[in-house]
Structure 1
């Protein structure tokens, strides 16, 4: 009887040890703490410095703490021409009046449609009646590629912490017809309104549409 009791106890101890071994180990403080976001984390705007139409170097870091809109443009593109019949300029004026920094970037390569430099770059804003804060030149396409910009127009809305809150097509009418501006939903305007109201951006991405950016030929 005593021997049976001892055997039973041994079996129970063995089972208990097995169950403890199979139980998951509790998370340590280090493994439970999220890793810090790095500069390459999706959603963070890549840093850049470009020359503007006046020959001044402009960096994204210059506008830390402000909402920034980036617009890729090419005045020879029919889709850009559609928006520059007045809608784009009105959106630029409304945004900058609210303290938003609006950066128009031309990533067209030399010899490609849309490329501008020198005096032509300086006259670009006046010629297009643009109300952007700065026109930036990206002839090597470095910044456009870093942001994955595909078309003109292609848009980004960046908050004061450097996070991309919206990316893609400017509105929900992917055509080059001026008449389609009426009644269109501007995703950029909506995103800026959400940022101003300190609420999450309702539409964070829209498929870009327009003319393909004329990047330099790949080596």
Structure 2
């Protein structure tokens, strides 16, 4: 089911969390927040929308990380019903797309629910105080040709890093619904 993310709730305080990578190493949101902010990307392995943007996400994340803006990805899908999203396949997917960021398992789906994540991909751009400043799409290319794209997430996070505030105009991300457990 195709869904769109809601409008950015500017200033919403992101809750801290502790999640593991596919190897079982634990990481917290607060330890990754950083002086210039943090992007939390809710993604999965099987969604065609995520597959379409995965390489662009890796590229933009590399640029953001080089500029001191941290990036993590969270997989909240119920991987027991969607085995393509299990931790072993997460590690494979991350390697295939050269993800330069942590890709974390939301085992009990509590983080996805706490954040109000809607779809994959769903981007949360936080300032250095952990306040939401961006809830938009990665770029304007969507599933099409990305050769002349406008990197909206990258531009927004650069603004957040400089000013602590995101752009007033944001276009919702769209993707597959998160697969919640019954």
- So what's the TM-score if we normalise by structure 1? 0.70
2:79 is the counterpart of 1:112: no
**Following the alignment from structure 1 to structure 2, what is the Cα–Cα distance between the partners of residues 126 and 90?**
13
Identify if the C-alpha distance between structure 1 residues 197 and 169 changes in structure 2 by more than 3 Å, giving closer, same or farther. Answer: same
**Following the alignment from structure 2 to structure 1, what is the Cα–Cα distance between the partners of residues 160 and 11?**
19
Identify if the C-alpha distance between structure 1 residues 106 and 207 changes in structure 2 by more than 3 Å, giving closer, same or farther. Answer: same
Aligned to 2:6: none
Aligned to 2:94: 125
Where do residues 130-141 of structure 1 align in structure 2 (5 Å cutoff)?
Answer: 130-132=99-101, 134-141=102-109
CA contact (8 A) 1:166 1:204 kept: no
CA contact (8 A) 1:91 1:189 kept: yes
2:128 is the counterpart of 1:172: no
Aligned to 2:48: 78
Q: Deviations over 1:46-98 (max 9, x none)?
A: 121111123111111213443111111122111111112x3111101101111
CA contact (8 A) 2:11 2:133 kept: no
Aligned to 2:154: 189
CA contact (8 A) 1:47 1:60 kept: yes
Q: Which has the higher helix share?
A: 1
Shift of 1:203: 3.7
- So what's the TM-score if we normalise by structure 2? 0.82
CA contact (8 A) 1:167 1:204 kept: no
| Structure 1 unaligned regions, length at least 5 | 1-40
| Structure 2 unaligned regions, length at least 5 | 1-9
Runs (4+) of structure 1 exceeding 6 A deviation are: none
Where do residues 141-180 of structure 1 align in structure 2 (5 Å cutoff)?
Answer: 141-173=109-141, 175-177=142-144, 179=145
The alignment covers a number of residue pairs equal to 171
